[in-house]
Amino acid sequence: MEKPIILDCKNVWKIYGSQASRIHSEHNGNPSSDALKANGLIGAVRAVNLQIRQGEIFVIMGLSGSGKSTLVRCLSRLVEPTGGEILFEGKDLLTTSDAELIEIRRKKMGMVFQQFALLPHLTVLQNTAFPLEVQGVPRAAREARAREVIELVGLKGREAYYPRQLSGGQQQRVGIARSLAVEPDLWFLDEPFSALDPLIRREMQDEFLRLQNLLHKTIVFITHDFDEAIRLADRIAVMKDGKVVQVATPEELVLNPATDYVEEFTRHVTRSKVLTVGAVMTSGGSDIKTAGDVGIGQRIEAVADLLEASDLPFRVLDGDGNAVGTIGRQAVIDVLVGRVLKK
């Protein structure tokens, strides 16, 4: 059963330049590239349609200048879209009053950006509690909540530290804790780990996944790093020149890229990190001898050593524990050497 849609983005545009709204309107909300160019306008976000479901990690990715950061700012109305609809829990954010929007941001949305943006004169505890202070939450209550999320992100014992006393990864954890303090329904993260060293970045990805397994937030995550996207995402939207060119699971992007651009994006991805057992298994085979069981949703990378070491295939079980196929050593080898065919 599909989960409910929490954010529904319909034909959203962000056009920069003089008379952008007029040109957008004159072309019935869908100006062509030629129309934009003729009027000296830049279509940073063009006719974007997205549906984001409750509890999923939805990654928006693309190269620099593709429009991904502008889009996420449109979704939260930090940047005012030129046109379209953005329905959050059924309410169009583009028609809400400023007062309503402020309340939604304060109580229902969390945001983490690449720049940590911590207040240098405040401690970890004070930085984390700051959004609750803005809401008018009494000091005892906001500090109690802040201590909860500080422990959640692994910074217990550092409540009295100032940002200058923390590493980059620790500062980013404070940023995450601060955004979680308000218990958001929707969490925006715009390249939150890209400024970190590779080892710390990997640790933060692990921490992020741990938090998501505990909290089950609805997350819109921006990145230009496909390896990061496939580690984190339930679904990925790939952007190019302000447009969304494909929305799919990481596995679907690799097996069935919709355009040459998406194919190039995924060309050098390690297939074993993306493809699941279900993508390469052989259906049926319940009557043959097997060495054990693996799950249909497990990544090949996770089971490769096990399968390669066995002369016998393994039975594949679906989410309900039913046998749906088999997978053996050769299937793993095919993935590792790149002999996986498109579905």
CA distance 175 to 111: 9
Q: Which CATH architecture has domain 5-10+52-108+184-269?
A: 3-Layer(aba) Sandwich (3.40)
**CATH 3.90.1280.20 is held by the domain 273-336:** yes
Q: Which two tokens stand for residue 2?
A: 């599909």
Whole-number pLDDT of residue 342: 52
CA distance 201 to 214: 20
Q: Is 13 helix (H, G, I), strand (E, B) or coil?
A: strand
The string of DSSP letters for 114-134 reads SS----TTS-HHHHHHHHHHH
The parts of the chain modelled with pLDDT lower than 50 are: 343
Structural domain spans, the chain: 5-10+52-108+184-269, 273-336
Least Cα distance to 86 among 99, 101, 66 occurs for: 101
Whole-number pLDDT of residue 182: 87
Long-range own/partner contacts, residues 291-300 (CB < 8 A, 24 or more apart): 293/317, 294/327, 295/319, 296/324, 296/325, 299/272, 299/273, 299/274, 299/275, 300/271, 300/272, 300/273, 300/275, 300/276, 300/332, 300/335, 300/336
Amino acid at 137: V
Q: Which two tokens stand for residue 199?
A: 């080892």
Q: Which residues contact 68 (CB under 8 A, 6 or more apart)?
A: 60, 61, 62, 222, 224, 239
Whole-number pLDDT of residue 57: 96
Long-range own/partner contacts, residues 28-33 (CB < 8 A, 24 or more apart): 29/83, 29/84
CA distance 295 to 114: 36
* Predicted confidence (pLDDT) per residue in 99-123, tens digit: 999 889 888 998 888 776 889 999 9
Whole-number pLDDT of residue 199: 84
